[in-house]
Amino acid sequence: MNQIRSSLFFALLVTALLGTSSALADPLSYTVDPTHTSVTAASRHFGTSTVRSRYSAKSGNITIDPAAKTGKATIVIDMTSVLTGVPKLDEHLKSLSFFDASGYPEATFVATGFAFDGDKVTRIDGDLTMHGKTAPITLASTNYNCYMNPNFKKQVCGGDFEATIQRSLWDVKYLIPFVSDETKLAVQIEATKD
């Protein structure tokens, strides 16, 4: 009987220690991969078609603590990289009328909170600084996954996120309401474990 109690106590002790070590696991750090990270903005043009523009990521770092269900991130977007497929429109978006990319060449997103469903990130709350102004935004995940990259044998995590913003909050007001204030953002992001 004592041997059974001893075995049961040992099994419970091992389980508790394993649970503790998992809960105390270090947060995981990732570096944003600019070749797989970008933001696409979409605004309605005179209530008719949708104008889309793409902006490349410049740099970024993400830390996720799966046990604590917390995280933090800073991602820098290159506003001079705007690409619409129409060179004159690209220059117009970089001009003083819109984003003034010469005066404000970067936009920065700083995450203030992460939401999870199991190990999957479902939402990221944060502050977007653009055009000299800062305002909160929420990125909702439409897809999130991690995989082992076969080329450099490191874990990569990321997915697709969406947000809807009012560009006037960042003092980008040109042609409102003919070009809508409401702008939909689609964020593609991948980051490699450090």
- Yes or no: say if 81 and 56 are a contact pair by the CB < 8 Å rule: yes
On whether residue 14 sits in a domain, the answer given is no
**In angstroms, rounded to a whole number, what is the distance separating the alpha carbons of residues 119 and 146?**
10
Handedness of CA 124, 147, 62, 192 (dihedral sign): negative
- The residue-averaged pLDDT of 45-54 equals 97
**In angstroms, rounded to a whole number, what is the distance separating the alpha carbons of residues 124 and 146?**
17
* Confidence band, pLDDT 50/70/90 cuts, at residue 80: very high
Percent of the chain past pLDDT 70, that is, above it, reads 87
Range of 174's domain?
26-193
CATH number for the domain spanning 90: value is 2.40.128.110
Q: Greater confidence, 5 or 133?
A: 133
Q: How many domains does the chain have?
A: 1
23 pLDDT above the threshold of 50: no
Separation of CA 187 from chain center? 7
117 pLDDT above the threshold of 80: yes
On whether residue 49 sits in a domain, the answer given is yes
On whether residue 18 sits in a domain, the answer given is no
pLDDT value at residue 100: 97
18 pLDDT above the threshold of 50: no
On whether residue 3 sits in a domain, the answer given is no
pLDDT value at residue 26: 83
Instruction: Calculate Rg over the CA atoms of the chain.
Output: 22
- The residue-averaged pLDDT of 171-193 equals 97
